[in-house]
């Protein structure tokens, strides 16, 4: 069994207009997932500084960071990064560039969890429907190009307001789409923007939206989570080379 979560942290800016990274880390600890995909980790302009400090993550949580940033002060790739519970092994990680009118990307990591190998993709798709479809196709094409096929989970803010069609139709052809529930706006959630998608090698045991009082204030998105069972997952070596740390 493995637990996963996705959280758009809005650069640690809460609904009270206060930027409190410590509060974000407390919410992440509340979720207590094995793997957490984060969106909007870094500032958008300038040096793209991360809103979360690595030393605080290591000191104040049970997590380590899979670093994708190309700048020394960034954790993410176009704002996306992955946190893993201490003890999980990173076999390989990779940045994915997505087609877009505005900068967009996704991140990929092959992880060994409890003796099983799991591929995790974190993403934040665009605001325009046509480009979301293209981005979904690009992610799937990146995946298809890999020689070694592994149980895979996609997580992130898809910016898809509807429950079907659009970019979801691209994933639905070969994957299971989990809709944990409305996650935006955190003060009164009505839109299911944040999704978890799995391939057929994963069974979904349960899923939901984390709705603590702290989560309602920490960001304009609520975290979504799922507990998964890996079916006879292989433990083969990663099929893409690790990228060097910046």
Residues forming a β-bridge with 44 = none
Sequence-ordered list of residues with C-beta below 8 angstroms from that of 137, at least 6 positions apart, any chain: 170
Domain ranges in the chain are: 2-230
In the sheet that holds 81-85, the strands lie side by side as 63-66, 81-85, 35-39, 2-8, 224-230, 202-209
What is the pLDDT, as a whole number, of residue 242? 60
Lowest-confidence segment of 32-36, 74-78, 94-98, 186-190 by average pLDDT:
74-78
Give the Å distances, CA to CA, from 194 to 7, 116, 123, 162, 236: 8, 26, 10, 11, 30
Given pLDDT bands bounded at 50, 70 and 90, which one contains residue 246? very low
pLDDT of residue 234: 47
pLDDT over 70 (residue 176)? yes
pLDDT at 244: 55
Residue 45 has pLDDT above 70, yes or no: no
Give me the CATH topology for the region 2-230: Deoxyribonuclease I; Chain A (3.60.10)
Task: Report the predicted TM-score, pTM, of the whole model to 2 decimal places.
Answer: 0.92
d(CA 104, CA 124): 7
Give me the percent of the chain exceeding a pLDDT of 90: 82
Q: Mean pLDDT: which of 40-49, 96-105, 182-191 is highest?
A: 182-191
Looking at the DSSP bridge assignments, the partners of residue 82 are 37, 66
Give the contacts of 48 (CB within 8 A, at least 6 positions apart): 42, 69, 71, 73, 74
Give the distance from CA 89 to its chain's centroid: 17
The three-state secondary structure class of 121 is strand
Split at pLDDT 50, 70, 90, the class of 233 is very low
At 54, list the tokens. 């690595």
For residue range 109-129, list pLDDT tens digits in order: 999 999 999 999 999 999 999
Q: What is the DSSP letter of 222?
A: -
DSSP for residue 174: T
| DSSP labels, 9-67 | -GGGB-TTS-B-HHHHHHHHHHH--SEEEEES-B-SSTT--BSS-HHHHHHHSSEEEE-
């Amino acid at each position: 069994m493995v637990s996963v979560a996705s959280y758009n942290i809005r650069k640690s800016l809460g609904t009270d207009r206060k930027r409190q990274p410590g509060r974000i880390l407390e919410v992440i600890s509340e979720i207590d997932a094995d793997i957490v995909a984060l969106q909007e980790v870094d500032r958008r302009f300038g040096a793209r500084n991360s809103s979360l400090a690595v030393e605080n993550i290591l000191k104040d949580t049970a997590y380590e960071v899979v670093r994708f940033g190309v700048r020394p002060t960034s954790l993410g790739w176009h704002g996306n990064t992955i946190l893993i519970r201490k003890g999980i092994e990173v076999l390989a990680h990779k940045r994915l560039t997505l087609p877009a009118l505005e900068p967009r990307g996704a991140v990929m990591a092959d992880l060994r969890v409890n003796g099983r190998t799991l591929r995790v993709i974190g993403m934040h798709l665009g605001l325009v429907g046509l480009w979301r479809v293209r981005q979904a196709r690009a992610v799937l094409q990146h995946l298809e190009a890999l020689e070694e096929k592994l149980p895979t989970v996609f997580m992130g803010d898809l910016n898809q307001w509807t429950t079907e069609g659009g970019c979801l139709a691209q994933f639905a052809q070969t994957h299971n789409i989990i809709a944990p529930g409305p996650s935006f706006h955190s003060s009164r959630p009505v839109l299911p923007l944040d999704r978890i998608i799995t391939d057929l090698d994963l069974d979904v045991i349960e899923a939901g939206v984390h709705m603590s009082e702290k989560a309602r204030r920490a960001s304009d998105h609520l975290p979504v989570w799922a507990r998964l069972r890996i079916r006879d997952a292989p433990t083969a070596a990663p099929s893409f080379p690790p990228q060097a740390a910046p």
